[in-house]
Structures are given as structure tokens and as C-alpha cells.
Amino acid sequence: MCEQGLSPAQTRAFRPTTTAQGDFHGIPDLPGRDFTAERPGTKLVGDITYIPTWEGFLYLATVVDCHSKAALGWARADHYRTEPIKGAFRTAAGTGLIEPGAVFHSDRGSNYTSDEFGRLLTGLGIRRPAGRTDVCYDNAMAESFFNAIKNEWFHRFVFATRAKAKKQVIRYIEGFFNLRRPHSALGYRPPLEVLNESLPSRPAA
């Protein structure tokens, strides 16, 4: 290359612009890659991903319980702003399973570290840790959920519209993942079976 007067075309180091760098507002990594919990609603993880359609991306935000591995909350949108992650967490909170002082762990995406989302969690009494920048293992459980939903379901379809992708989100999460999918960390039982076993028994009417 020197003899021919050529210079290599160097790629620029990737720096995500939607991710808070460094110690953002002192948000710690409380789970420390321990994604287990003694009971439901005490430790949760979340993330957001995109599903390609011919109309553009459909974004999916989820909230997964570390004890039962069930997806307690999820929301879909045609944008990447804070609303879908707030919607997913409100859905999870609406189950009545999340305890005050619970931990909700995410990555350092700008929507998860936003003041808007922080106010929602604070109002519900939820602590907000986050993993380190560019270290996927710190939020590995949320990443694992999206790996499953894409490899087992979405990669098998071509979606002409966002509406069709939305229907498949419901089919996978509610009809398969929570209800019937065996999970190795649960002794190959589905999340809802473990979740129901963990809830206090109700007296017969």
C-alpha cells in the first residue's frame, strides 16, 4: 500500500448516540448479572427492540420478571421514544405483582435513563439500576428474551404491515412464551406455571 500510495479506509469507532455514557446520574448496576429472585415482582429487567415490516420498524418494549421469567408487561409502538417503555411498565405494574422497592434493571438507552421514565418509577417506588455502556451481559436476561422471540418467531415471518407484526407479538408472548414455552432455568417449565405456584393461595369461596 505504501509503494502504491494507498491509505486504508479506517472505520470509525461506534459510539451509540442514544445511550448514556459513563456514570449517568449515579445509576448503579444493582443485579450484578444475578437475574434470579426468590419471589415474583422483586427484580425485573427490560429492554426495547425493533421488528422490521414493509411499513417501517415496529418497536417492542418488555418487562420480564426474574423469578418466573414471565413477560409481565409489553408495549408496541412505531417509534423509539419513551412512551412504549412507560406503557410496558404500566402494564406490568397493573398485574399487581410488583412489590414496592422492587428493582427494574435496563441498559443505558436514553429512554430508560430519561427523567420522564425515572419519574414514573419513582412514583411507583421502584429502584432503577442500569448496566454499563456496551456490556450486553449486564442486561443478559432481557437480551435473551429478545433473542428467543426473534429466533423462534419473528425471523420466520415477513410482515407487510405493523398491524400484522403486532398480532404475532401477542401470539408469541401470551400464547406461547408465558403459557407453554419450557425454560431451562425453571426446570423446563413454562413461566406462568412457576408464577402461579409462587403466588399466595386464595381461600376457596
Does the pLDDT at position 27 exceed 60?
no
pLDDT tens, position by position, 104-137: 988 777 888 888 999 999 999 998 865 444 444 4
Q: Which residues contact 1 (CB under 8 A, 6 or more apart)?
A: 7, 8
Average pLDDT over the chain, rounded to whole? 83
Q: Identify whether the C-beta of residue 55 lies closer than 8 Å to the C-beta of residue 116.
A: no
Work out the burial of residue 57: count CB atoms within 10 Å of its CB; fewer than 13 is exposed, 13-18 middle, 19 or more buried: middle
The β-bridge partners of 59 are 50, 77
**Residue 64: which H helix or E strand, with range?**
strand 56-65
Pairing of the two strands 71-77 and 103-105? unpaired
**Domains within the chain, CATH numbers bracketed:** 36-195 (3.30.420.10)
Cell of 50: 425493533
pLDDT tens, position by position, 80-102: 899 999 999 999 999 999 999 99
Cell of 164: 400484522
